[in-house]
Structure 1
Amino acid sequence: MAPAITLAAEAPKLSAANTGFMLIASALVLIMTPGLAFFYGGMVRVKSTLNMLMMSFISMGIITILWVLYGFSLAFGADKGSFIGWTSDWVGLSNIGLTELWPGYTIPIFVFMVFQLMFAIITPALISGALADRVKFTAWSLFIALWATVVYFPVAHWVWGTGGWAFDLGVIDFAGGTAVHINAGAAALGVILVIGKRVGFKKDPMRPHSLPLVMLGSGLLWFGWFGFNAGSWLGNDDGVGALMFVNTQIATAAAMLAWLIYEKIRHGAFTTLGAASGAVAGLVAITPSGGAVSPLGAIAVGAIAGVVCAMAVGLKYKFGYDDSLDVVGVHLVGGVIGSLLIGFFASGKGQSTVEGLFYGGGLTQFWKQCAGVFAVLGYSLVVSAILAFIIDKTMGMRVTEDEEIAGIDQAEHAETAYDFSGAGGGIVGGSVSALAGTESKKVDA
């Protein structure tokens, strides 16, 4: 009998379906940054609205250029010592063929590059919510450029890059619990410990000026997050992306309900801000875990995150750090919860065969998750604080106290979010003029 002939596995071919899906997913991730801007913008006082919007929007400009010039190469290039990547042919996106595929997948390198670019854009924007009302726009712009270079690009390589130490260790982070949310949350904490509190913190009312804007922003985040999460499987061939899509919806709903129930018991009301914040907490927690847990596990992840994050947002008053819009309480805490719960709820039937404690897998995966979580947390916290300290001592991070009190929008952007003076017939315009004319006639008489 002739020996059997073993055929080599066919090399992946470009899939138009997966390529189109990933381009749509990339656009969904991009819309999350304006959604974040609205979410944060509605939570600040009127005098800081435009500055809050701009702190997100400027990231779309700065990070895009850095990613093209060297960021993509640092994050996903050939591994250098398990810490950073580098592929010189990718500098400036040079020498990349139009149909050249991302290794092991059916999408072009350009598509993978632009999808990951959207992650790089929103991550520093997340930090901005902790710094509302008080940071110079030039200092913020310099900070995110430096932070992306020395923190985000290396951490992305650790977690997702071939040869990155966390990737090789087996740390599970489907779409960014460590690389995005813990990274940004720890950075926010590092910066606010350096620059200090807002004027009037714990004394003056600092309520959201537009809760409808907050709800709009959270809705856009929820919508875009399907691209953020489901797209991270880079295709639709085996159903894992579909599982992630389903779990994203489930965990977000569970977290929103859990947050609302907690605040009703604790504070006596179901608030719109609580609904929006709970939804975001669920989105954050399911981001690392959604490909590893079952739908029932997603309910557990979301519910736990909703309650714990609702509790965590009050820690700033207890410990005295001014996390303006609860980036630490939602993104850092939510990212930690979602990442660590993989060690308990991983079913072994999703993105891998890894099983958590509740599925008979012991604590092996939990300890791996701990390594990834606390390494990223510590690195981002320390380096971010150092960057903020250097910038503060050279060009200054904060606006003056007078500018902060008067309003950072006018000081930094020479604009205000809402102009009521030109609303025809209002007391400021027509009525005051009419009254002035009446008084003038009385004087003439």
Structure 2
Amino acid sequence: MTHRTTTGTAAPESGAAVPAVSRTDLPGGIRVLTERVPGVRSVALGIWIAIGSRDENPDQAGAAHYLEHLLFKGTGRRTATGIAEEMDAVGGELNAFTAKEHTCYYAHVLDEDMPMALDVLADVVTNAELAHTDVELERGVVLEEIAMRDDDPEDLLGELFDETLFDEHPLGLPIVGSEESIRGMSRDTLFDFWRGEYTTPRMVVAAAGNLDHAHVADLAAKALTDAASRFPTGVPVGPRSGASGLLRPRRALALRSDDSEQSHLMLGVPGLNRHDPRRTVLSVLNSALGGGLSSRLFQEVRERRGLAYQVYSSHASYADAGTLSVYAGCAPERLGEVVGVVRDVLAGVAADGLTEAEVVRAKGSMRGGLVLGMEDTASRMNRLGRSELDHGRQRSVAESLERIDAVTPEQVSALAAELLDVPLTAAVVGPYDDESELPGALQDLA
């Protein structure tokens, strides 16, 4: 079996080496990326698949997340109980998550138990049985998860905002699907989605910790041989393209009535896709705007006026679109004032930019967060998998720090003027029967 291995992957833009990262291309289009982390006795590993909720058609809505439940219910070699007992016996963690553009099945174990964990993951991802009885059993579990989401106003708000901003595009659909789509989903639909989409050219095996790269590559090749044999000439699937124009700023308002004690607000605009060279500038803007205790939004909304306990901004970047949004939770009678202050802050930053001191603090916060976030093996494994699927390359921490350092106040101000001086999209979850009960500051967004 032929492997092609490279170590110390270069970062093309700067030539900076990534000496701890090694890569092997296996038959079937499988990529294996590892990072050896000195001084630890654990390994975090994951099998990443370049398929997420945006890849589902209407009949499959929620299929990727449904499979996240089902694949652990048993394989041709292991029962669900056996999988649980095998991991519990070594104190390991086994789990998965589904996102809009990818899915990851992962484990965190002692270094000596890594071969077992990788074998379990490969077995689960490629050799599941998807028994009819398990499909019905997990249908109820997924429906309960949807009900739990509906009971969490903040989660519900995020989905409502995406649905409003993305309109009918798949990126606006909930990852878990809807009650209707889950109730109507057949075992054949799930099986076809799994077999048709979870292919080895879309797979990345990522691992970080106390490991030997060649050993991990050999184990992955053995564990995934049968799956790879279905794609003998498979070529790794590259990152999704960054075509622009998916989102247009538009004035819009969405309300979801909820018998809650608080009003939950999200205001936002289209952001940048992840291929945009200004994405680091956007991260600095977001951090200064609402990323920490010294951010402008936190200071204006909470510290100076005491209008909300929680207020923050966030941004999300996909292959062809992005969002920049502000969240605030407040008493219903304060919603109008909160909306007014948030809109004033956004308008002020759009018109005048941020001060040099704000930008310096934001950059320092990002630097610290990046480095501290790399202290554990799970974070490093996630960075490996996401970077390969999203960009097709690995960026060193040093390169990322250089990009942060290079951001100037002028760049942040220019981007703020571009992104924030547009119509706002708003979503509200709270104790209102219809939009007429919302404050006027929100109604004029409709």
Greater strand percent: which structure? Answer: 2
Computing the radius of gyration from Cα coordinates, the structure with the larger value is 1
TM norm. shorter chain > 0.5: no
**Scaled by the length of structure 2, what TM-score is found?**
0.23
Greater helix percent: which structure? Answer: 1
